[in-house]
Structure 1
Amino acid sequence: MTRYYFWLATRSLRRNPVLTALMVAAIALGIGAAMTALTVLRGMSSNPMAHREDRVYRPQVDNWSANQPYDEQGNPPNLMTYQDSMALHNARKARRQAAMFPNFLAVEPANPEVKPFLATVLFTHGDFFPMFDVPFLFGGGWDRQSDDNNARVVVISRAMNDRLFGGADSVGRRLRMQGEDYIVSGVLDAWQPQPRFYEISSGAFADVEDVFVPFGIGIEKELTSSANNNCFSDPGAGYQAWLASDCIWMAFWVELEGAADAARYKDFLDAYVQEQKARGRFPRPLNNRVNTVAEWLAQQRVVGRDAQTQTWLAFAFLIVCLINTVGLLLAKFMARAPEIGLRRAVGASRKQVFAQFLTESGVIGIAGAALGLLLTWLGLIGLRALYGDTATGRMAELDAGMTAIVVLAAIGASLLAGLFPTWRACQVTPALQLKSN
């Protein structure tokens, strides 16, 4: 019977190709707009560390001014001071811990054909790489001893390796930056976590840094963060005064053994802050946090309101398209009232009529899904062409999951749109239609 209903549906749709095309186009346009926006929003709101959600945590301590909270929501500062980062790092209360801050260093390529250039650099500890499960193409990170000795070792990105060493295994080779030679200990494989959760102060959707350098070298060179450096009071003159100040400019992450260990680490943070209060610091009430990556991204509102608004507007457009489709289906089905009356008169039940016309709505949905999938694909191609090899461009990818969502959404939307017209068609009274004919 289902096969027969499909035959009736295609035959009916071929009778009025213009009306059919309008309904298919309405559904496809709505689906294309909504799914394009949803694909980008899904990429922006993803959690790159979902597989380590119970292991990786972002601690926060509230060292801000007694006169005002850090933000309107009462959250602690999103970064830490140097002295707090070092105190927590040196306490070794976590399985792994890493402080970090970004800056730039001038790279002086050995190849004279490659001009010197500024590279984005993240100064961090060696625990960064195993803690975040960073993949390596060649080599690996550095050990704790290299951290302690400020060893001149670096990890470089795959793009940097391609640029400087032609993509070859560069482990053990020299990289000269600002007059100093560094030994390459590792080359990252393709790794572009989006959002870039570990250091969002310089852009949640920025590219991964070109070079990773031991944390102490940045302090040795008296560098500060190239992103955010926030103070609520005058830090004083000179770099040492800056390090001793309550200015926040460092990210700090830890690896723990799960929720119970995170609770113990929270107790450690509270004890640390209480100790600092006795020394005249941390004037605000206890407000320490130990966030999972998901909690951290939510707190920092990585997905902007503009992206969310655009997605809601796209779905509002889909609703408008569905309302138009409802009107077109209602007009089409009610124009076939004599046919419905005749079918009912020769024995077709309301249930059978309902199944026939809902099948017709489903066929429209299948056609709308195919065209909507094409429009979604074209929309994402347009975004990639507009944004290029940026975070937004890379997020504009239609994977298998989103393809299935597009198809199911289009068919579901058409069936939803067909419910009322189909119900109205089933209310046709056979006797009245036969009498009028």
Structure 2
Amino acid sequence: MLTYYFDLALRSCRRSKALTALVVVLMGCGVATCMVTYAVFRATAADPIPWKSDQLFVPQIDNFGPVHDWKGEPPILLSYTDAEAFLHARQARRQTLIYGSKWTVLPDDARRQPFSQEGDAVSRDFFTMFDAPFRYGSDWSVNDDDRRAAVVVISRALNRKLFGGADSVGREINLDAHAYRIVGVLDDWNPRPRFFDVSSTFYPFSHPRQLYIPFNRAIDLQKATSGNFYCSADTVNPDLPNWDSILHSECAWIAAWVELPTRTDVEHYRDYLHNYAAEQQRLGRFAWPANVRLSNVRQWLDLYLNHVVPKASALSVVVSVSFLLICLVNVVGLMLARFMRRAPEIGVRRALGASRGAIYRQFLTEAAAIGMAGGLLGLLLTALGMAGIGQVFEPEVARLARLDASLLLLTVLVAVLTTLTAALYPTWRAAQVQPAWQLKSNG
């Protein structure tokens, strides 16, 4: 019977070429618009580390006080005082501090010009916490961390640029006129968004960092941050005169992460944060009640969604869904006109014994076939839209969107389901046709 219904649908489409083509174009355009914007939103709003996002947490503490209004939320970064206290307390399975900086790379080849490179100053646990893959070598040792050794982990791209992609572990790289021993080369690794230092960078979808230096080494070198740096109202001079003043100020510029595998670990660390803030209040450093937060990756991204997901991406999804709904309303009208023009045919079929259920199956099969055609057109338009997506969104965001198998399948599925939905009312109306009235009027 399904083959018979498809044959009837094909004949009907041949008789109503204009209406059929209009429905297919409407559904193809509406679905393609939704799929292109969904591809961008999916890429920017996806969980960057789903297998571990419920174990990685951002500790926050309010060292600014209620004079700063962040809707009751503590600053998203830490002062050096609090960051060091959290690191040395060792209350988590792993913990790391992060801040971004810029370095000048001096190639060994004197004929090549020095160039600037973005890097992160991180604690040793950074690589294990975030499952950073290594192509050569590994992270630096605990001893290197304690000695503030001149070691570095570089990216695969920087390794290719400086050493032609060969194993460079053990070789040296000159950064800011200081020699650093390479202990590891990362494989291709670029979480999107770069959640672990999303608060200390101006755009979390830009190119990944190319080198990683021990946090304490960067502090000893008085390496300034290239990310956000903000101070409380109690800081007399925001342009602090020297490095020691920065380290002892209430200025926030360091991101911190901790790994807490179990619920008990989470509760224990949350208690530690409250106790630490209460202790700072007793010592006279804070003149306000303890205000702390502990958010996992998903909570962190949701809490600061406007800083992570581009507003244009979220807004475009709303606009495209609205456009699809408008297309849906128009398709309902076209389907109704299409089906009701066939009232005499329906009356004859009913008079010959066809049930209302048969009429439902016939017209819904026809709608599914039209929806399939709309889906195929939607695939073509989606591919064209993905090719030109860089004209609408920032290049860094546009590069994230992928036309993969799941998106192709979803495009066809949405087209078919949307067309079936649009056909429900017209099909119901068609099934209500009274055979006696149609036969009498035709007679």
TM-score, normalised on structure 2?
Answer: 0.94
Q: Choose the corresponding residue for 2:375, options 369, 373, 378.
A: 369
Aligned match of 2:145: 147
- In structure 2, how many angstroms separate the alpha carbons of the residues matched to 1:371 and 1:38? 17
Query: Distance between the aligned counterparts of 1:394 and 1:113, measured in 2?
Result: 33
Measure, in 2, the Cα distance between the counterparts of 1:40 and 1:25. 23
2:439 aligned residue (414, 434, 437): 434
Asked if structure 1 preserves the Cα contact closer than 8 Å seen for 2:136 and 2:167, the reply is yes
**Deviation larger for 294-303 or 60-69:** 60-69
1:18-417 to 2 correspondence within 5 Å?
18-69=18-69, 71=70, 73-200=71-198, 201-202=200-201, 203-232=203-232, 233-234=235-236, 236-301=240-305, 302-384=308-390, 390-417=395-422
- Contact 1:156–1:187 (8 Å) recurs in 2: yes
Does the CA contact (< 8 Å) of 1:62 and 1:284 recur in 2? Answer: no
Q: Secondary structure at the match of 1:395?
A: coil
In the TM superposition, structure 1's runs of 4+ consecutive aligned residues that sit over 6 Å from their partners are 385-388
Q: Give the residue type in structure 2 aligned to 1:206.
A: S
Q: What's the secondary structure of 1:52's corresponding residue? A: coil
When residues 283 and 305 of structure 1 are mapped into structure 2, their CA distance, relative to the original with a 3 A threshold, is farther
Contact 1:79 / 1:251 at 8 angstroms: preserved in 2? yes
Contact 1:64 1:284 in 2 (8 A): no
Higher mean C-alpha deviation, range 284-293 or range 123-132: 284-293
Question: Could you tell me which amino acid in structure 2 is paired with residue 374 of structure 1?
Answer: L
Q: Using the TM superposition, give the Cα deviation of residue 269 of structure 1 relative to its aligned residue in structure 2, in angstroms.
A: 1.1
Q: SS state of the match for residue 388, structure 2?
A: helix
Contact map agreement 1:174 1:181 (CA 8 A) in 2: yes
Maintained 8 Å contact 2:193/2:204: yes
Post-superposition Cα deviations, 1:327-352, rounded to whole Å, max 9, x if no partner, equal: 11111111111111111111111110
Q: Name the SS of the counterpart of 1:51 in structure 2.
A: coil
Q: How far, CA to CA, are the matches of 1:15 and 1:425 in structure 2?
A: 18
> Residues of 2 paired with 1:267 and 1:427: CA distance?
67
How far apart are the structure 1 equivalents of 2:390 and 2:3? 41
SS at match of 1:396: coil
> What SS does the corresponding residue of 2:358 show, helix, strand or coil?
helix
**8 Å contact from structure 2 (residues 343, 438) kept in 1:** yes
Deviation at 1:404, TM superposition (A): 2.5
Change (3 A) 1:136 1:386: farther
Cα displacement string for residues 298-317 of structure 1 (whole angstroms, at most 9, x for unaligned residues): 11112244322210110000
Q: Is the 8 A contact 2:277 2:291 kept in 1?
A: no
- Cα drift, residue 222 of structure 1: 1.4
- Paired with 2:60 and 2:207, the residues of 1 have a C-alpha distance of 24
- Work out whether residues 54 and 297 of structure 2, in 8 Å CA contact, stay in contact via their aligned partners in 1: no
Query: 1:54 deviation in Å?
Result: 3.1
TM-score (norm 1): 0.96
CA distance in 1, matches of 2:361, 2:323: 28
Which range moved further: 51-60 or 235-244? 235-244
Q: Cα offset for 1:75?
A: 0.9
The CA distance in 2 between the partners of 1:188 and 1:14, in whole Å, is: 59
Per-residue deviation, 1:387:
6.4
Which segments of 5 or more consecutive residues in structure 1 lack a partner in the other structure? none
2:9 equivalent to 1:4: no
